[in-house]
Amino acid sequence: MSKLKGKVAVVTGASKGIGAAIAKSLGAEGASVVVNYASSKAGADGVVAAINAAGGKAIAVQGDVSKAADAQAIIDAAVKEYGRLDVLVNNSGVYEFAPLEEITEEHYHKQFNVNVLGLLLTTQAAAKHLGEGGSVINIGSLVTRIAPTGGSVYTATKGAVDAITAVLSRELGARKIRVNALNPGMVETEGTHSAGFIGSDFETWAVSQTPLGRIGQPNDIASIAVFLASDDSYWLTGEKLYAGGGVR
C-alpha cells in the first residue's frame, strides 16, 4: 500500500465490473476512494466494505454523472470527506448496440449523456480541486479500433472520449494535471454477462482476434489504472492506452 499513499481518488460507476476493480485496486495501493454509483447502492457498499476490510479507506456516494448538480456533489463529497482530490477515474458508461435502421433519439442521448456529457461534467467539477500531479483517467474502449457492427452510437461516444482526452490534456497540462484514456477490449463483467456477450459467438470471435488468447478480466484493467493514477506515469498525458490483449 504505497504507490498511492496519501492520494484521494473518485471512481465513477464503481459499484461493479471494471469500476469496482479499479476502486479496490486504488484502495489497495493506499488511496482514499470515493465509490460513485448511480443506482446500485448495495453494489457500491460492497466495494466500500471490501476496501475498508483490506485496510483502506472508502465511502460510497450516489450520483448521476450526466446531471451537473450530481457531478459536482460527487466531487464535493470527496473533498469534504478527505480534504483534497488527486485522481478522477471517469468510468461511468452505458452501452446499447443497434443497427442503423433501429437508432432512435433515446438510444443516442442515453449513451451520449452518460458517456460524454457525464465525463465532461465530472471533470469540470474535479478540475477545480486537482493540483500538480493530478491524474484524470478516462475509460474509453477498443471499439474505436475494431468498429463492431451495430455499435455506431456507442463507438461514437468512445471516439469522443478519445478526442476529449487529447483536448483536456492540453488544457490542464499547464497545471501539471495529466489526462489519459484507458481503452479496454472485451472484459468479463456483470454487464457483458447480462448483455449476452459471454459464451456467445462474439466472445469466440473476440478471443480468436486476441494474441494473448482470452478476453480481459476487470483486474487486467485495474492494474493499468493504478499505473496511470500513480507518479510512475508522470510523463504520460494525452495518451490512449489500449488494453485488449493485443487486439489490432
Question: Rounded to the nearest 10 degrees, how much is the dihedral formed by the CA atoms of 144, 145, 150, 154?
Answer: -10
**Residues 75, 92: Cα–Cα separation, whole Å:** 14
Please say if 154 is a catalytic residue: yes
DSSP states of 51-76 as a string? HHHTT-EEEEEE--TTSHHHHHHHHH
* Active-site hit among 108, 154, 234, 242: 154
Q: Burial level of 110, CB count in 10 A (0-12/13-18/19+)? A: middle
Could you tell me if residue 83 is left (phi over 0), alpha (psi between -120 and 50 degrees) or otherwise beta?
left
Q: Among residues 85, 108, 119, which one has the least CA distance to residue 13? A: 119
For residue 158, which amino acid is it? Answer: K
The label of the residue with cell 443516442 reads 108
Q: Among residues 226, 195, 185, which one has the least CA distance to residue 89? A: 226
Active site residues: 154
